[in-house]
């Protein structure tokens, strides 16, 4: 009988580390984005009904941000996987957030 370790199955689940941080605390500050995932929101308030989970770093400490910002979701989808991690700033432009 085979052992699970013989099946060469990789763990593709990448958990995020750190405490939750409100997006307002990082507005207009340089942050490092290490990774992201997009899932159906438990509390859909935006047009897409999706939630963006960001693994960020601020001052060498890792945090997690949750947001329903459709603009941020569309922008992060365009970033190639090989370009992570990257430095950015999140700005509030009228009623929405955007990466700069």
φ, ψ of residue 74 in degrees (nearest 5): -65, -40
Q: Give the model confidence (pLDDT) of 41-87 as tens digits.
A: 887 788 888 999 999 999 999 999 999 999 999 999 999 999 999 99
Measured distance CA(27)–CA(90) in Å, rounded: 5
The torsion defined by the Cα of 22, 81, 97 and 13, in degrees rounded to 10, comes to -40
What are the distances in angstroms from CA 48 to CA 9, 92, 100? Answer: 33, 19, 22
Q: Give the model confidence (pLDDT) of 24-39 as tens digits.
A: 999 999 999 999 999 9
13 pLDDT band, cuts 50/70/90, is: low
What ranges do the domains of the chain cover?
A: 14-99
pLDDT on residue 12: 67
Exposure pattern of 10-30 as b/e (b: 16+ CB <10 Å)? eeeeeebeeeebebeebeeee
pLDDT on residue 24: 95
């Amino acid at each position: 009988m085979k052992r699970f370790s013989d099946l060469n199955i990789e763990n593709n689940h990448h958990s995020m580390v750190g405490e939750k941080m409100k997006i307002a605390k990082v507005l207009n500050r340089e942050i490092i984005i290490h990774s992201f995932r997009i899932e159906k929101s438990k509390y859909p308030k935006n047009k897409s009904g999706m939630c963006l989970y960001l693994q960020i770093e601020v001052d060498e400490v890792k945090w997690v941000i949750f947001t329903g910002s459709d603009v941020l979701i569309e922008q992060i989808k365009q970033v190639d996987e090989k370009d992570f991690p990257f430095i950015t700033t999140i700005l509030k432009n009228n009623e929405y957030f955007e990466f700069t």
